Amino acid sequence: MKFKDYLKDRLLYILFYFINTFLVIIIMMLDLIIRKEKLKVSNIIYAFLLSFMFLILSIILDYLKKRKFYKSINIGLKDNKGLEYIFSIPDNISGEHDVFKELLTKNYMIYENTLEKYRKNYKIQVDFNNRWIHQMKTPISVIKLILENEKDKNIDENTKKSYESIEEEMEKLSNGLEMALYALRINDFEQDFKVEDVNLLEIVRNVINENKNTFIVNEIYPKIISEEDLTVKSDKKWIKFVISQIISNSIKYSKIKDDQDKSIIIKLYNENDKTILSIEDKGVGIPKQDVDRVFNPFFTGENGRRYLESTGMGLYLSKDVVKRLGHGIYVESTEGVGTTINIVFYHGKSIYNL
């Protein structure tokens, strides 16, 4: 609080002080008039000046006494200090300020206790979800293995197609669990990433291999265009998750399009001071009004409402991860033609080169 603000808060006090002084002088004047004594104007002026000087002196002394308190409050407001800054507020300024600080301290402790309770509950929930997801991944792997073995047997074509459809659905389930797992881990991202030289072509091939059944069943053909094995600084696990989410989206919106050419083209190339990974599909595309919102959480858009397969989280998590890794991501799309998503790996503008 500044001195001018301090004065504003005491305007009513100052007004009553002057009214009081004026009334005292009026009473003195009436007394003199009753006694038929001569009233001197200089005495009235002197009384007013003396009263005014005492008023100014009392205000200044009171402000100087409380200035340390106001200064600490101003620092906390200006520097956006945390709630723990309450303990830095000086004591014994006045009884009023001590009560004020005691109230703030009690509320802070209640807030901290409540927050700690929610932290514990959140940690229990996260740990449970992590364990549950890992437990679910085991039976999925077993089911996939059983299906692979059954497909190798001498079975009729219809049964084989049924097995392939089941495999495709199992891959969807597996991808969904993987996305949920990464969504839980992203809050502890700083403790869960490792910077290393990452071979992008190798990761792309791994992702394609993991989704091979889905590609085959939906007759979608991935094409990789890369002149060389491009290496970038990133986190292998997290960037693989991002690429997997984008390719999964490309498959999802390519298979529903009635078209002969359902290829997904993946390009890797250097451009000036950056490496670009481009994933282009020939799917249904994104409506123009939705393009700028596809990275928003839980945004499914017109396509999500139409085809009912979107959670609205895949691209949101992808952008969040890419941003945390110090890379860039943007989307280009034409409705009815297809979508291209580009991941940009900056050579000189990387958080790992700081």
One domain for residues 243 and 129: no
149 with 289, same domain: the answer is no
Tens of pLDDT, residue by residue over 223-250, are: 999 877 789 999 999 999 999 999 988 9
CATH number at residue 321: 3.30.565.10
Domain that holds residue 293: 193-353
Q: Across all residues in the chain, what is the average pLDDT? A: 82
**Angle, CA 226 vertex, CA 225 and CA 230 arms, to 5°:** 145
Cα Dmax for the chain: 133
Residues 326 and 199 in one domain: yes
More confident residue, 188 or 57: 57
pLDDT at residue 182 is higher than 80: yes
Among 10-14, 103-107, 246-250, name the most confident range. Answer: 246-250
pLDDT at residue 352 tops 90: no
Same-domain check for residues 201 and 186? no
How many domains would you assign to the chain? Answer: 3
Please say which residue of 146, 173, 191 terminates a domain: 191
The answer to whether residues 133 and 166 belong to one domain is yes
Q: What is the mean pLDDT of residues 135-152?
A: 83
Instruction: Average the pLDDT over 266-281 and give the result.
Output: 92
Q: Is 92 left (phi over 0), alpha (psi -120 to 50) or beta?
A: left
pLDDT score, position 244: 92
Q: Which helix or strand (DSSP H or E) is residue 277 part of?
A: strand 274-281
Same domain for 307 and 233: yes
Domain boundary at 141, 172, 191, which?
A: 191
Which DSSP string do the residues of 27-54 spell out, in sequence order? HHHHHHHHTTPPPPHHHHHHHHHHHHHH
With a pLDDT cut of 70, the percent of the chain lying above it is 90
- CB burial of 98-119 (b: ≥16 within 10 Å; e: otherwise) equals eeebeeeeeebeeeeeeeeeee
Question: Same structural domain for residues 199 and 228?
Answer: yes
Instruction: Please give the pLDDT value at position 354.
Output: 41
Do 238 and 116 lie in one domain? The reply is no
The token duo for 8 is: 């504003």
Same domain, 206 and 340: yes
Q: What does the pLDDT read at residue 195?
A: 85
Are residues 76 and 220 part of one domain? no
* Predicted pLDDT at 81: 66
- In the block, which residue shows the tokens 């085991």? 138
This prediction has a pTM of 0.67
pLDDT tops 60 at residue 350: no
302 and 156 share one domain = no
Residues 6+ apart with CB under 8 A from 117: none
Helix segments in the chain, DSSP class H:
3-9, 11-34, 41-78, 95-151, 157-185, 200-210, 212-217, 236-255, 301-307, 314-325
Whether residue 59 has pLDDT greater than 70? yes
- The confidence score (pLDDT) of residue 80 equals 67
Rg, Å, the chain Cα set:
36
pLDDT at 212: 84
pLDDT tens digits, residue range 163-173?
878 887 888 88
Q: What is the mean pLDDT of residues 25-45?
A: 75
Greater model confidence, 45 or 283 = 283
Q: Which of 10-14, 139-143, 279-283 has the highest mean pLDDT?
A: 279-283
Q: Is the pLDDT of residue 306 over 60?
A: yes
Whether 244 and 296 map to the same domain: the answer is yes
Banded model confidence at residue 351, pLDDT cuts 50, 70, 90: low
HEC string of 298-335? CCCHHHHHHHCCCCCCHHHHHHHHHHHHCCEEEEEEEC
Domain C-terminal end among 33, 63, 81: 81
Question: For residue 347, is pLDDT > 80?
Answer: yes
C-alpha 213/C-alpha 296 separation (Å) is 30
**Residues 29, 45: contact at Cβ < 8 Å?**
no
- Output the pLDDT for position 240: 93
Lowest mean per-residue pLDDT among 7-21, 70-84, 289-303 = 70-84
